[in-house]
Amino acid sequence: MAAPVAIDDPGDPRLAPYAAMRERDLVGRRGRFVAEGEVVLRVLLSGRSRFGIESVLVSPERLPGLAPALEGLAAPVYVAPRAVMGAVAGFPIHRGVLGIGIRGADPDPDALVPPGPALLLGLVGLANHDNVGGLFRNAAAFGADAVLLDGATCDPLYRKAIRVSAGTCLTVPFGRAATGAALLDLCARHALAPVALTPGGDDIASLPPLPRALLLLGSEGTGLPEALMARARRVGIPMAPGVDSLNVAAAGAVALHRLAGARLSGGPARPSAS
Amino acid sequence: MAAPVAIDDPGDPRLAPYAAMRERDLVGRRGRFVAEGEVVLRVLLSGRSRFGIESVLVSPERLPGLAPALEGLAAPVYVAPRAVMGAVAGFPIHRGVLGIGIRGADPDPDALVPPGPALLLGLVGLANHDNVGGLFRNAAAFGADAVLLDGATCDPLYRKAIRVSAGTCLTVPFGRAATGAALLDLCARHALAPVALTPGGDDIASLPPLPRALLLLGSEGTGLPEALMARARRVGIPMAPGVDSLNVAAAGAVALHRLAGARLSGGPARPSAS
**Interchain contact, A245 vs B273, CB within 8 Å:** yes
Identify the DSSP state of B150: -
Which pLDDT tens digit goes with each residue over B223-259? 999 999 999 999 999 999 888 789 999 999 999 999 9
Q: Is B33 in a helix, a strand, or coil?
A: strand
Q: Cβ of B269 and A138 within 8 Å?
A: no
pLDDT at B262 over 80: no
Which CATH fold topology does A109-266 show?
Alpha/beta knot (3.40.1280)
Size of interface A-B (CB pairs under 8 A): 210
pLDDT at A251: 97
Q: Which residue has the higher pLDDT, B271 or B178?
A: B178
Distance from CA of B236 to the nearest CA of A (A): 5
Give tens-digit pLDDT for B126-150.
Answer: 999 999 999 999 999 999 999 999 9
Closest residue on chain A to B126 (Cα): A274
Band the pLDDT of B267: cuts 50, 70, 90: very low
Report the C-alpha gap between B253 and B257 in whole angstroms: 6
ipTM above 0.95, yes or no: no
Quick one: closest CA in B to A196, which residue? B274
In this predicted model, what pLDDT tens digit does every residue of A36-73 receive, in sequence order? 999 999 999 998 999 999 999 999 999 999 999 999 89
SS3 B31: coil
Question: Which class in CATH covers the domain with range A5-102?
Answer: alpha beta
> Nearest Cα to A167, choosing from B133, B126, B247, B238?
B247
Please say if the pLDDT value at position A272 is more than 50.
Answer: no
Which of B217, B256, B264, B272 best probes binding to A when mutated, by most A CB atoms within 10 angstroms?
Answer: B272
Contacts of B160 in chain A (CB under 8 A): none
Taking the domains of chain A in order of start, what are their residue ranges? 5-102, 109-266
Residue B273 has pLDDT above 90, yes or no: no
Which pLDDT score, from 0 to 100, does residue A27 have? 81
Residue of B182, B248, B212 lying closest to B119 (CA atoms): B212
Give the closest residue to A159 by CA, choosing from A19, A40, A16.
Answer: A40
Q: What is the pLDDT of residues A246-262, one digit of tens each?
A: 999 999 999 999 999 86
CB burial of residue A72 (10 Å; 0-12, 13-18, 19+):
exposed
Q: What confidence tens digit (pLDDT) does each residue in B189-212 have?
A: 999 999 999 988 999 999 999 999
CB-nearest partner of B269 from A218, A238, A248? A238
Could you tell me how many residues make up chain B? 274
Asked if A8 contacts A84 with a C-beta cutoff of 8 angstroms, the reply is yes
E strand or H helix at B234: strand B233-236
8-state DSSP, A148: E
- The pLDDT value recorded for residue A200 is 86
- Residues of chain B with pLDDT > 70, as a percent, come to 96
